[in-house]
Every structure is written in structure tokens, then in C-alpha cells.
Amino acid sequence: MATKTTETAAEKKTTAKKTTAKKTKVAAKPTKNLLIIESPNKIKSIKKILGSKYEVLSSKGHIRDLPSSRLGVDVENNFEPEYIVSRKDGKSAVLKELKAAAAASKHVYLATDPDREGEAIAWHLATLLGLDPQDNIRVTFNEVTKSAVIAGVENPKGINMNRVSAQQARRVLDRIVGYKLSPFLWKKVKTGLSAGRVQSVATKLIVDREREIEAFDPEEYWTLEAVFAKANKEWVANFFGTTDGKLPINSKEEMDKLLSDLDGTAYSISSVKKTERVRQPNPPFTTSSLQQEASARLNMRPQRAMSIAQNLYEGIDVKGRGAVGLITYMRTDSLRVSDEARISAENFIKETYGANFYPAQPRVFKTRASAQDAHEAIRPTDVTLTPAILRESLTTEQYRLYKMIWERFVASQMAAALYQGTSVDVSAKGKNSGTEYIFRASDSKLVFPGFTAVYNYGDDEEKSSKRLPELAIGDPADLRKLEPEQKFTQPPSRYTEGSLVKALEEYGIGRPSTFATIVGTIIERRYVEKDGKLLRPTSLGNVTTDVLTENFSNIVDIAFTAGMESELDEIEEGNKSYLDTMNGFYGGFAEDLSAAEKKLDGVRVEVPDEESDVICDKCGSKMVYKVSRFGRFLACPNYPTCKNTKSIIVETEGNCPICGGKIIVRRSKAGKTYYACEKANECGFMTWDMPTKEKCPQCGSTLFRKFNRLYCQKDGCGYEGKVERKQTEEAK
């Protein structure tokens, strides 16, 4: 794979010095091997495993990349990328250290992460260190455990160049779209905007959903609940229809007619059905399902969940054990579980819960056809390291996420839950029509808990089900009251960060390693904003999406973007070439760009301001939202006649420890969030630490949080506590 490589003058000088040194001095025979990994956080864990025969160093992520100041891709010459080692972020110093260590080592092994990005980083390192990519220099392991690391080191292989080509194709495609489309948006919409091959599609999903909500026309319907009693115990049945089938009620007139027909009639039990239903456990987590569940259950953003999972994978200092990698690699879309892990889970389940809690046959979950099966599902590396054992070694967030991963995996290997269901039909003959109406009630009782003994974050059917008394066919049903209720159909709900991740996966947009970044990017660039947990497009997101849809339909087309993901997979599988993929994309893209430039020559698309409910206290107009580099603020729409602006006041749950006033969120000139008293000029209180809803047990003042510490800022109090004390029970 041809690429341009730019070597700095400092690197050339270093190389020259090495050459001279070799002529004058015979180097001592190397005694150690060098293992290069991506993240420095894994060094301690891996050194503990490999011992003194290995030196372990980190590349600290990508060692080189495309230049940030220019396109860096020769579109006229087979789309050759120009890679550079950046001096701005300290990569030259890292490379210098790695070169020196490599020169002093017996063998050099590249143990970067086991995915496309990791494979590409390994290839870049091999190129810069003068290693042959086809030599046995590539080491991979799915978990930072003794058996996995040693097995990886003992079975090195060549670098997978198809996987490298797939990563390079993604990087170059994203660079071309970003560096060609962004300047177009600057000229036609607003300076500083950015476009992305995947982020633009994600934004369009949210824009389309919002417009679907706005266009939604609610339809009226009615429900009818019948409350019966037996031996002073009330139970409820809902109107179903007639013996001919379901009968919808769509207006008050229809409901009044039904109620009139039922007035004074007798009710009796016409059917009682007993059933058994089996509920199977969910599979262990993939990257996508982990992010979705962390968002829904732990209120944890996808990016935060992935950051914490990375910590758990790389290694945590566990009391009495040292640095231990606690979960397998967290970027995966596979549901596969190794035989070793399955057997460990089987033994643990039988010993802890009993043999009947393990299924007759081991569970095998089917991975979707489009998934890359290079890694296992996300699971604990040692199932015997229960959340309770690790509680003191983990932060609150690490504990909550590990607990969820551990429970999901253990439950996935357990027996199904068994429910006994009861379905009851109540009949009533209309006094006017003679029609036999049916009311239906159901009950679900847990007979055997199975996997729910460990993991039951889903709907708890037994708790949500209303218990029915013992009923028999022919029994009269004692009606207490009929409760009609008018309802309207609801529009589709807005996306949350978790449900957007799910949509991206279902549509085939992006890969597990990119989901969290995509969601974070469109929020940070203000194409989308959060309303509580819900995502809604901004005016900027709407306008940008419309411009791209009208002029670059492929860029924001779900099927086209998903098709590109499939092509990248084909490159990795060796069924398609890098050059064919690039040529197939660029021709149409370049034509669209040229046509759009001509079509919008001299045109500037306005981004309408979003109106607020705040009234300008100088001229009486409704103020509008504006965005600066410090965030959103309110401004008068009559600028420059009226130049009034206001900060957006976001109140917290705390009170000022000095004067008792409300604490509000503010931003510094550098864009950093801090907290201040609403009476800024009179009081002057401010802090960088977040106020909480917790009250000091000593003085009743608001407690503030710094890392995992809660403390009181009231003069003379001095109370301190730990966050874990409050959140342990919530996490269980």
C-alpha cells in the first residue's frame, strides 16, 4: 500500500547519529524483548504478566496521521495518503523513545488494540521502526489476563494488511468528505461548520424524527376499564371487543353508545386459560447494547461508558491482586463467548445458585451477519471476581458499569425464567343490541426465577402484573364500576443518546468503535441539543441537513452510508480493493460538489434564530438564542438597535453556603463550567465543584462533590464524606 511519509529533520538527524554510532561502537547483545501497546494505562498490568524479559512501552494512540492543516490525500495519484508524525502532540518524542528501545531489543512485538485502528497503528509503527509487516511481529489479545497475554505473545503473526487497508479507506473517505464539504458549508451557511460522512447522517436521523413529530396528526381513541371484585379484592379487566374480534372505540359517541348498551347488564366469567411461558435471557453485551443499557439504566452517556469500560479493560489495581484487566475488549459487535469463559460461568452458576439454574444445553447466541467476529462479546475476564469482591477497588462509576457487565454475562449463561400466565375473559350481553361483549384480564406469576435471580433490568412482569383472584368459568363477575378514558395516539419519541446508538447499529451506520464518538460530535458541534435525555435538532442542524440533502443526497442517505460500511468490510475480507472503493466514491462526490458550487454561487443560507420565552427588558421583544465559543446565550433580535444580551440561567439543586441563594451554572472565558451564587455582586460565592441535592448531616447546607468526595463549604463545618456511601444501594 503506497503512502507518502514525511520524516522530520530531527528524525533524520537521529537516524544519522545511529548509523555513525554503529560504525564506531559494537552494541551489547540485547537481552529483552520489546512489546509496544496503544494505551499507557495497560503497561502496569502487562508488565506484571510478562515479567523482566519484556520491556513494555506505549505508542499513546496513533503515532502518525494525516496532517491537520491540509487535505493530505493525493486524489490525482491513487488517493495516496500523506502521513506525518506530529510534533505538536509530543509524538516525535514518543517515536524517538520507541526507536531507541527497539534498537536495544532482541525482538519487537506490536500489541496494539485488536481492531482496525489497532491494526493500522501496528502497521504505522512497523513502517517507522523499519520492521517487516509480514514478519511475526503482531500480537493480539482480547483481554488483559495472564493466559490471554501469554498466548498472544507466544503466537505472533504478520500484520493483516487487508484490515489496514479498510482502516485507511475509512480515514481517507472521512478526510475527503470533511475537508471538501466543510469549506462549502462555511461559504454557504456559517463559518466554522463541519460536515462528516457519518455525523451528517446521524444528524439527519434526528432532524427527520423531529419533523415526523411536528407533522404528526393525533387520532382519538377510547379505552374502557371494568373494575370487578371478589371477596373484597378488586381486579381489573379491559374492554376487548365482541365474540367476533377486537372492537376499537374512536369517539365519545361510540363510547356513550357502548356504555348505554352495558348499563345494568350482568357479567360472568366466560373463559379461563392457564399457560406457561418461558423467558430467555438477553445475550452478553456488545459495544452498542452496552452503550444503550448504560444510557437507559445508569444515565451514563455513551462516551463516558466507553471511557470507563476502557479503564476496566486496561486494568484496575485490585486489593491483594495488583493490576487486573477486568473485562474483555469493549469494542465488538460479536456475541461469541469462548469455551473457557463458558465453562467458568457454568461452574460458578452451579456452585452459587444450584445446578437447576444452568440450562440443559450451553447457550450459543447468534451474531448478526454483518458483525465482525474478531472478538468475543463483552464479559468479565474472571467470573469469580464478583462486583461485591471488587467494590472497594472501584470508583462508583466503574463499579456500576462492571456490575452491569458481570450480571448480564452471568445471566446470559443461566436457565430461562418460567412464568405461569392466566388469561380471563368476562362476557356481558348488551341490553339493547344483544351483542356479547368481551372484557379481558391477564396475570403473570413467576414460577422459577432462572436468570432473573441475577439480572432483571428489563420489565419485571410479575411486579407489573395485577394479581387475579381464583376464577372459574361460569362464575358471576361483580362489577364495581366502568372507567372510560379518552386518549390520543402519540407521535414517535425523540431519540436519546442510547436509542440513537441503537438506530445507527440497525441501519449499519458506523461501527462499534465509532458510535459514541458520532453521538458526542453532533452534540458538541451544536447540530443537536439535549432536552433532558432527549435529542432535538437545533436551527443550525436543520439548515445544514437541508443544504446537504438538496446538494449531496448520497452523503446523508442511510442506504448509501450503510453501503460504504459494507464496502469497508469487503476490503477487510480481501474482496475489494482500496483503490476501487475510493474511485467509486470520489467521482460522484466531486461532481456533486462542483454542481453545488455553481448552483449556490453568491448564495448565503440564513440560519434562523430560535426564539425564547424571555422578554428583552430594554425593548420588550422576545429574545433569541445565540451561540458563541463560550456556549449559548440570549440576545435581542433587534440588534444593532438594541444590544441587550443575557446569560442563560441554569439553576442547580443546591443553595449558596454563604447567603442561601440559588446556585447557577456559569462558564469562564475559557469555556470551563463553574458554579456561582445567583447574587453574584452581593455575595460573590463561586466554586469549580458541583453542588449536589445532598444536605450536610451536620449543618444542613448543600454538599459539593469533588471526584468521589462529598464535602460541606459552610464556614466552620468541615464535614466530609464519600459518594459511594450514598450510591452503593442504588448501584445494586
Catalytic residue numbers read 329
Concatenating the DSSP letter of every residue in 369-413 gives TTS-TTSPPB-BS-TTS-HHHHGGGS-HHHHHHHHHHHHHHHHHT
| Interatomic CA distance for residues 182 and 196, integer angstroms | 8
Radius of gyration of the chain (CA): 31
The number of C-alpha atoms within 13 Å of 371 and in the hemisphere containing its C-beta is: 22
- Strand, coil or helix: 658: coil
Element holding 63 (H helix, E strand):
none
How far, in Å, CA of 710 to CA of 533, rounded?
A: 25
CB atoms within 10 A of CB 17: 10
**What is the amino acid identity at position 378?**
I
Report CA dihedral (280, 281, 287, 289) to the nearest 10 degrees. Answer: 70
Full 3-state SS string of 675-726: EEECCCCCCCCEECCEEEEEECCCCCCEEEEECCEEEECCCCCCCEEEHHHH
Handedness of CA 651, 652, 655, 657 (dihedral sign): negative
d(Cα 296, Cα 302) in Å, to the nearest integer?
10
Query: Does residue 575 sit in helix, strand or coil?
Result: coil
Cell of 158: 504478520
The C-alpha atoms of residue 213 and residue 209 are separated, in whole angstroms, by: 6
Query: The C-alpha cell of 406 is what?
Result: 458481570
Quickly list H helices, 488-577: 497-507, 515-524, 539-551, 558-572
Cell 465482525 -> residue: 372
Query: Among 150, 157, 82, 148, which Cα is nearest to 119's?
Result: 157
